[in-house]
Amino acid sequence: MSTLPHLTLLTTGGTIAGQAASSADTTGYTAGALDPSALIAAVPGLGELAQLQCDSLLSIDSKDMCPAHWLTLLARVQHHLARPDCDGVVITHGTDTLEETAWFLHLCLPPGKPVVLTAAMRPASALSADGPMNLYQAVAVAAHAASANQGVLVVVNGHIFAGADIVKTDTQALDAIDAPARGPLGAAQPVQFYHPAALTQAGCVPADALAGQTELPRVDILYVAAGSDPDLLAAAIERGAKGIVLALPGNGSLPANWQCAADAARARAIAVIRSTRVAHGRVAHATDTMLPAASGALNPAKARIALMLALAAGTPELSARLFA
């Protein structure tokens, strides 16, 4: 009997499974074109790391990922983690929305068996494709004992990141996935952790809060540039938004002409969160109760997901924890 760990490879499409007509083409390709067996065939040595069971869930470009997909993915991951013969899950994903899916899973999955996402910046058909090595290293990390109880992880370009920490920082570079605030947790070859993940919010969304749901409450992000008209906020609410995240200048600075619109939204029980357009730094929580709540360390995309989940759960305590 093999003593290798039993892992589930759950595929969702993305560039890592992309195919182009030319091996020199790294932009004009079809994402999610390859099935799991083709991905595995391109990575010799996987069988020496773990016994893999494949589960093809989606075959999409991650730019088309939506909350309904997240809920489906979450349910499938929970199903596999609950199996006694599954020691961990590896998920292939596109880079465009990798940070959003990883953050969603981080909030919904308590630490336990390893859950590792990986991706690629070059399609599988490209010269020097990065997908095969990323997949190999992701399986190696998921198979490693030290990866248990680390929360959701992301393995790309030789690094191990906390899923809660990552952002995409470049449109084409191989090192496009980074964790600017905290840096990598460790290295993927050989597997070693430099420091543990921050797990204060890991799995904080109660499982029963999402039970049976196929959608999440609509939350829109409004990018507030110099002179942006506040009627955008009312328009989003009229279209069905239950919450609004404002990507504001500086330290979540609300322009004076947006105050009335924000007040009107909150008077209608619409949640409004102040986030920032700035790449790094927290939005400070204000003592002025006239201002909408701050996103803390969350960028607009992550604040949107946190607000969706807070609205779905319907508990003020969760909101306070998510936006601490």
The residues assigned a catalytic role are: 15
In one letter, which amino acid is 48?
A: E
Structure tokens at 38: 């083709």
Q: How many angstroms separate the CA atoms of 143 and 116, rounded?
A: 10
By the 8 A CB rule, do 140 and 52 touch?
no
Which residues have C-beta within 8 Å of that of residue 68, sequence separation ≥ 6? 214, 215
Which residues have C-beta within 8 Å of that of residue 263, sequence separation ≥ 6? 290
By the 8 A CB rule, do 224 and 249 touch?
yes
